[in-house]
Amino acid sequence: MDIILQSFTELLQYPANANKRIFFVYLVASIPLAIIAYFQFNRSFNLNKFSRYLFNKKIWLAPSARQDYAILVINKLIKNILLLPIIITMAPIAIGFSGLLEQVFGTMEFLAVSPLTVSIIFTVILFVFDDFSRFLLHYLLHKIPALWEFHKVHHSAKVLTPMTIYRSHPVETLLYAFRMAITQGIAVGLSYYLFGPTLQMIDILGANIFVFVFNFMGSNLRHSHVWLSWGKVVEQWLISPAMHQIHHSNTPAHFDRNMGAALAIWDRLFGCYLPANKVDDPTTIKFGISRKNTEHLTLLEIYFMPFKLSMQALLQKRFIQKLGNKKIK
């Protein structure tokens, strides 16, 4: 009972936490950007029509959206009850990685730079390492069939709202928790080896300043029906809300595109980059895995079907490998 109460208390604190996507400042900041996007698309502005457009009941109360709200609560309970005991922490990884660097390269004198310079470099390292590892795991979730079955839960959303960010299977949540601990551990361990123990991240309300700025610039519109493109030049470097909506499109030409979190450079390097200007008519984009997806209609299917499909993918791969080995012989 205490865990359930704790879970609901923590959920209620999300809008006051700058490290959460639905932090109220990020949500409020999205509104003027949505107004700009609405005006660009319609070439006019009417407050009443805009309000009905932004808070469209057919979207916010759609069956898919209601699933998102339920998944947010259920996943929080699962995390607090089952996953927290097995989630690794950053500290031992940081200590171990710093020690490994000392063994390989020897003890070195800490770089003689100002505390401000150390903070800037440390903050950049944390952000870049975190963003690349997010991209890499996301890429693997798409490319490895057994993992894709779990990630499909997120892509099964047929409408997008800011709550869709929390639409993920617990297995994927666990993988991202491991990713965060490992990435932060390596970033802190490297920075400790270079600069010593005095490490200070530059933050705004406890969030990495780069993360805060990116979330402030409309991150909640990524999971929405508001088409906001940042233009060809900016989108070569940063993932815009429109680019992420392309990622959620059920059009085959859009599959496995724009898998980056904030930086677009990883998509360009891995050949999965698709800027928003390549979409002629954004109104034709429909969200979901496919137009005929029937695997995620209920919460039970969302939570249990991925285990079955993932096992089938593993067995199918094993069968193909055995068949290939027989042909070689």
Residue-averaged pLDDT of the chain: 92
Domain total for the chain?
Answer: 1
Rounded Cα distance between 76 and 71, Å, is: 8
Q: CA dist 126 to 130, 200, 219, 220, 246, Å?
A: 6, 11, 19, 22, 27
SS3 263: strand
Token digits for 83?
Answer: 């996953």
Q: pLDDT tens, 71-109?
A: 999 999 998 888 776 677 888 999 999 999 999 988 878
Amino acid at 301: E
Which pLDDT score is estimated for 122? 97
Which pLDDT score is estimated for 323? 46
Residue with tokens 């490992």: 182
Spans of the chain, pLDDT less than 50:
323, 328-329
Rounded Cα distance between 246 and 280, Å, is: 12
Q: At 204, phi and psi to the nearest 5? A: -125, 115
Rounded Cα distance between 9 and 24, Å, is: 16
Which pLDDT score is estimated for 293? 64
CA 287-291-294 angle, to 5 degrees, is 105
Token digits for 109?
Answer: 């004198």
Which pLDDT score is estimated for 325? 55
Q: Which of 149, 195, 157, 196 is nearest to 175 (CA)?
A: 149
Judge whether 150 and 169 are in contact, CB under 8 Å.
Answer: yes
What is the widest separation between alpha-carbon atoms in the chain?
71
Token digits for 58?
Answer: 């057919």
In the chain, % of residues over pLDDT 90 = 79
How many C-beta atoms surround the C-beta of residue 324 within 10 A?
A: 10
Bridge partner residues of 287 (DSSP):
249
Rounded Cα distance between 178 and 211, Å, is: 19
CA 317-318-319 angle, to 5 degrees, is 90
Which pLDDT score is estimated for 41? 87
CA 136-72-63 angle, to 5 degrees, is 105
Helix (H) or strand (E) holding 65: helix 63-78
Judge whether 309 and 149 are in contact, CB under 8 Å.
Answer: yes
Rounded Cα distance between 168 and 227, Å, is: 23
User: Which 8-state DSSP code applies to residue 110?
Assistant: P
Which pLDDT score is estimated for 116? 94
What range defines the domain where residue 191 resides?
Answer: 2-328
SS3 258: coil
All residues at 6 or more sequence positions from 240 whose CB lies less than 8 Å from its CB, including other chains: 228, 229, 230, 234, 276
Q: CA dist 139 to 99, 220, 265, Å?
A: 30, 21, 14
Range list of β-strands (E), the chain:
203-204, 207-208
